[in-house]
Amino acid sequence: MDNSLAENLETQIVDLYKEKEVLESQLGTSDTDKILEEFNSLESELSRLYQFKENFKRIESKQIIIESIRSAYIPKIRLTE
């Protein structure tokens, strides 16, 4: 095997292990299936939150009587502005 090819392969392997270590330290795993599963889960949650935001409006609790919370979420279609 050509010496430069061997050095290139070794460099690539070292870089891959460095990337793996970063994933392990930052995400707790380097398993691509687990990372993609978590990403998809977060994407779904974000989508759900955006839908919630589009369908509800936050109003101060002084505009409606509710005990033990500071604000309430009311469907926008129920509010007349």
Residue 31, phi-psi category: left (phi > 0), alpha (psi -120 to 50), beta (remainder): beta
pLDDT tens digit string along 15-59? Answer: 999 999 999 999 999 999 999 999 999 999 999 988 888 887 776
pLDDT at 67 over 60: no
Give the pLDDT confidence score for residue 61 in this predicted structure. 56
Give the pLDDT confidence score for residue 51 in this predicted structure. 87
How far is CA 77 from each of CA 36, 53, 60, 72, 73, rounded to the nearest angstrom?
A: 37, 13, 17, 15, 12
Q: How far apart are CA 2 and CA 8, in angstroms?
A: 10
